[in-house]
Structure formats: structure tokens, C-alpha cells
Homo-oligomer: A and B are copies of this chain.
Amino acid sequence: MQTLQKISSEYVDPRSYAEVGKVSKMPDNFPRLWSTVEQICQILRIDAEDSPAGDAYRFQHIKSRTGARVYSAGDRCDALFIVYAGFLKTSWVDKYGNEKILDFPMKGDVVGFDGIESKQFKNTLVALSDIELIVVPMDFFHASSSHAYGFRRRILELMSNALIAGQKVEYMMGTLPAEARVAKFLLSISQKFRAMGFSDKSFHLRMTREDIGSYLGLTLETVSRTLSGFSRCGFIRVDQKFIEIMDVDGLKLLRRLPALKR
């Protein structure tokens, strides 16, 4: 994770990804990367039943620095993004300016489903670290490429997953007390880190307490207090954004709290 992020040290305006002619503007020592269809299939874990390896598609990479806004509500959407490296957050802003964090995409996640219907993004995507994204134009979804069938199927699966994940967040916010929400959040983050091949016992959160609170439907104070409480109980160690999980089962047991209401 750390190494991958350090590779990215140039800033490419995401909005220019469609303007291939601008490549010449890039300095030579920071080559613009491209992925093949096969690489996309590998990252998304698409079974390459038939691999004629003849697809001419190439998918552009874009890089952004920490804090960069990849897209905002209203921006034109004609592509999805695969997170190749780094950490991000998606959020929705209501008409009064209140922001709700929706997700924290990481390596391997696909971002941009919110722009499909109206061809305009409804949410905001912000980089929580230096990031590298792969741009997959929506045209590829409808293409007759030999890989498009598997790609279509996989995108549908990923959207289905996203839908179910969102529903579990709804459940969490609707029924679980603060401790259980924070515990579930930590376990979920831990599991994602493990899936990426990093340590699931110690990691550092890229988002603020306020972001976590918004995601879980809590205030930043409650998040902070709950983390301190876990620390006092010996479940975790906390040092600012660094988290060390000491007692996984202790955190998991907190899931049963809502059952006690009976």
C-alpha cells in the first residue's frame, strides 16, 4: 500500500482523462499508464473463459494527490473507475450543504455507479491518500468485445453487492447502538485490509472521526468516546489514526447487544 502510493507523485486532472491528446503535455519521467482488458479482468476477478487476447481496448490510469476531488455531483459520467491503489471516500451533499459519507473505496473497488442513470454523478469522490484509478468507459459495458460478456456480468454482481452493503449500513444505523456500529466498522475495515494482503491487526485509518461518524450516523464525539472505551476495555489500542486490534472476538461479541433488547 505504502509503496504503491509513493509511486504516484504527479497530478493529472481527472477531468482530462477523455482528452487523449493531452498526453504529450506529461513529462517523460512520469509516464501515463494503461491497462489491457486482461489486466482489468484480473483485477475484477473475471473468469477469462475465452482469452483470444485480441481485444484492442486500453484503459487509461489517472493519479491524484491526497485531498483531490476526483468528481463532484453534477460532473458528466461516461466511465467507471477501478481503484488501483490508495484510499478514497464517497459522499452525498444535500441542498443545505450537509455531507453524508457513503463509503470508503479501496483497492479493487469499482466507483461511479451513482452516475449511470443520468450520465451525471450524484455523489462526490475524494482521495484520502495519493491514489491511482483505472478509467473504464461505459461504452465498454455495451461493447461486443469478447470480454464484454464477462465484464457485464461482473459489473452487475458488483452493483448487487454494493446494494446489499448499503442495506447493511441501513440496518446498522437503524438498530445498532454506537458501540456495535463502531465495532462493526473496525472489523469491516480490518477485513478489507486482509483481503488486500495487508495486516488486519494494525492499520491506520485515512479518514477523520467526523467522516467515520457521518458514515455510521454518529457524531465525531461519540466515535472518539467509543474508541477510547474500546481501548480501556483492551479491545484495541488507539493512537490518533493508528488502530491496533487486540481482541477480535471482543469486538465481534458486541454484535449481540441488540439481541439483548428482548
Interface members, chain A 171-186 (any B CB < 8 Å): 171, 173-175
Enumerate chain B residues within 8 angstroms of A67, measured Cβ to Cβ: none
Look across to chain B and name the residue whose beta carbon is closest to the beta carbon of A218.
B174
Question: Size class of A's contact patch?
Answer: 35 or more
* Interface pair A167/B102, CB less than 8 Å apart: yes
Enumerate chain B residues within 8 angstroms of A175, measured Cβ to Cβ: 98, 100, 217
Enumerate chain B residues within 8 angstroms of A161, measured Cβ to Cβ: 117
A166 on the interface (CB 8 Å rule)? yes
- Compute how far the CA of A96 lies from the CA of B100 in the bound complex, rounded to whole angstroms: 29
- Compute how far the CA of A156 lies from the CA of B158 in the bound complex, rounded to whole angstroms: 11
Look across to chain B and name the residue whose beta carbon is closest to the beta carbon of A162.
B163
* Interface pair B122/A164, CB less than 8 Å apart: yes
Enumerate chain B residues within 8 angstroms of A152, measured Cβ to Cβ: 141-142, 152
A92 on the interface (CB 8 Å rule)? yes
A114 on the interface (CB 8 Å rule)? yes
Set B141, B173, B258: member contacting A96, Cβ < 8 A: B258
Look across to chain B and name the residue whose beta carbon is closest to the beta carbon of A95.
B255
A157 on the interface (CB 8 Å rule)? yes
A81 on the interface (CB 8 Å rule)? no
Interface members, chain A 128-179 (any B CB < 8 Å): 141-142, 149, 152-153, 155-164, 166-171, 173-175
- Compute how far the CA of A113 lies from the CA of B122 in the bound complex, rounded to whole angstroms: 21
A256 on the interface (CB 8 Å rule)? yes
Interface string of A217-260 (1 = CB under 8 A from B): 10000000000000000000000000000000000000010110
Enumerate chain B residues within 8 angstroms of A174, measured Cβ to Cβ: 100, 173, 214, 216-217
Known: A94-B171, A122-B164, A170-B173. 17 other contacts (CB 8 A): A92-B168, A98-B175, A98-B259, A100-B174, A102-B170, A113-B159, A114-B164, A114-B167, A116-B156, A117-B157, A117-B158, A117-B161, A141-B156, A156-B159, A159-B159, A163-B166, A174-B214
Tell me the A residues contacting B by CB distance below 8 Å: 92, 94, 96, 98, 100, 102, 113-117, 122-123, 141-142, 149, 152-153, 155-164, 166-171, 173-175, 214, 216-217, 256, 258-259
